[in-house]
Amino acid sequence: MTNEERFMKEAIALSKKSIEQNEGGPFGCIIVRNNEIIARGNNRVLVDNDPTAHAEVVAIRNACRHVGTFQLENCEIYSSCEPCPMCLGAIYWARPRIVFFANTRQDAASIGFDDSMIYQEMGQDLSHRKIPVVNLCRQEALKVFAQWAAKQDKTLY
Amino acid sequence: MTNEERFMKEAIALSKKSIEQNEGGPFGCIIVRNNEIIARGNNRVLVDNDPTAHAEVVAIRNACRHVGTFQLENCEIYSSCEPCPMCLGAIYWARPRIVFFANTRQDAASIGFDDSMIYQEMGQDLSHRKIPVVNLCRQEALKVFAQWAAKQDKTLY
């Protein structure tokens, strides 16, 4: 068994724990740096009443707490399922070096999770979305963006 | 001023607070139900060292805590900027009835936030992503999906 397979089995074990302890859906994730597991997460949507508590988001938050920054450079993410758009977005903001996944988004759809639908919606024009998205007060909000752009002591992220 | 504009000004005020208190980028969000603000959030990436602490995610978590469920039916989301893919994903999982936004994803890109790039990546084939995404151990993970499908006492979400 390769190291990568060994780490993925840990993520899959977390996905099993998630449903056996009724914490959420069958999803687990671990984050590895220098061949060492630095964070774990499993789906906690049900136990936390939190629709954002997917395994990857939970693991990324734990990993960032562990390393003390909002970036996961040189880290590897092992997820028991292909990340949904929310989790993939979180991964891009966290910037790990690589992502491994086991079940696919189609596998997730086949047991009732809407990942595929959400991927389709991402590419839809705003006027064709299932949840309406409406622009409002842009000129007012642009002033705060200009204030950020002009801010001298800001931390870029 | 319409009610919608009044609520959006609250979200924009939070985006301003976020940068003035050095908590994160210029992003704010409020969640409304029955014409009443039930939750607020602003970007807390810097102060929490948490790349997932975008205004919308923070507000959704607060709103779900407030209503005691993982769904935001009949709620309206007012975000000072068009949601990034992570936040849009979170919105689809939370299922509010409508989303209002002020600054656009292009406005965000123009002050250095990568939302547009991440939207492009969402639609890319796995083999062409900037962060490599690799499939591994699918057969092993499918067993846990089958266990979920067969589970009698599960909560669907």
Q: Give the pLDDT band (50/70/90) at residue B157.
A: confident
Q: What is the 3-state secondary structure (H, E, C) of B8-77?
A: HHHHHHHHHHHHHCCCCCCCEEEEEECCEEEEEEECCHHHHCCCCCCHHHHHHHHHHHHHCCCCCCCEEE
The catalytic residue among B4, B5, B56, B73 is B56
Cβ <8 Å between B102 and A9: no
Q: What is the mean pLDDT of the segment spanning B148-156?
A: 91
The two three-digit tokens of residue A79, written as one number: 């997820």
Q: What pLDDT is attached to residue B84?
A: 97
Cβ <8 Å between B93 and A69: no
Residue A26 pLDDT > 90, yes or no? yes
Q: What is the mean pLDDT of the segment spanning A20-47?
A: 97
Cβ <8 Å between B137 and A9: yes
Q: What pLDDT is attached to residue A104?
A: 96
Residue B56 annotated to the active site: yes
pLDDT above 90 as % of chain A: 95
The total of other beta-carbon atoms located within 10 Å of residue A69's CB is 14
Q: What pLDDT is attached to residue B14?
A: 98
Residue A51 pLDDT > 90, yes or no? yes
Q: What is the mean pLDDT of the segment spanning A29-44?
A: 98
Q: Which DSSP string corresponds to A2-36? A: -HHHHHHHHHHHHHHHHHHTTSSSS-EEEEEETTE
Cβ <8 Å between A132 and B99: yes
Alpha-carbon distance B3 to B70, whole Å? 26
The total of other beta-carbon atoms located within 10 Å of residue B19's CB is 22
The two three-digit tokens of residue A64, written as one number: 């960032």
What is the interface pTM, i.e. ipTM, of the complex? 0.96
The two three-digit tokens of residue B61, written as one number: 């978590």
Chain B residues in contact with A123 (beta carbon < 8 A): 122-123
Q: What is the mean pLDDT of the segment spanning A71-91?
A: 97
Chain B residues in contact with A50 (beta carbon < 8 A): 61, 64-65, 70
Chain A residues in contact with B64 (beta carbon < 8 A): 49-51
Residue B50 pLDDT > 90, yes or no? yes
Residue B51 pLDDT > 90, yes or no? yes
pLDDT above 70 as % of chain A: 100
Burial of A36 (0-12, 13-18, 19+ CB in 10 A): exposed
pTM: 0.96
The two three-digit tokens of residue A121, written as one number: 């919606």
Residue B155 pLDDT > 90, yes or no? no
Chain B residues in contact with A145 (beta carbon < 8 A): 26, 103, 107-108, 110-111
Q: Give the pLDDT band (50/70/90) at residue A155.
A: confident
Residue A42 pLDDT > 90, yes or no? yes
Full strand arrangement of the beta sheet holding B28-33 = A133-135, B98-103, B75-81, B28-33, B36-42
Q: What pLDDT is attached to residue A157?
A: 79
* Disruptive mutation site among B8, B81, B92 for chain A (greatest number of A CBs within 10 Å): B92
Q: B154: helix, coil or strand? A: coil
pLDDT tens column, B26-41: 999 999 999 999 999 9
Q: What pLDDT is attached to residue B35?
A: 97
Q: What is the mean pLDDT of the segment spanning B56-71?
A: 96
Alpha-carbon distance A3 to A122, whole Å? 34
Angle between helices A115-123 and A85-94 (to 10 degrees): 70
The total of other beta-carbon atoms located within 10 Å of residue A126's CB is 13
Burial of B91 (0-12, 13-18, 19+ CB in 10 A): buried
Residue A156 pLDDT > 90, yes or no? no
Tally of residues, chain B: 157
Q: What is the mean pLDDT of the segment spanning A59-69?
A: 96
pLDDT tens column, B80-93: 999 999 999 999 99
The total of other beta-carbon atoms located within 10 Å of residue A93's CB is 24
A and B: number of Cβ contacts within 8 A: 286
pLDDT tens column, A91-141: 999 999 999 999 999 999 999 998 999 999 999 999 999 999 999 999 999
Task: List for chain B the helix, strand, coil content (%; round to 5).
Answer: 50, 20, 35
Tally of residues, chain A: 157
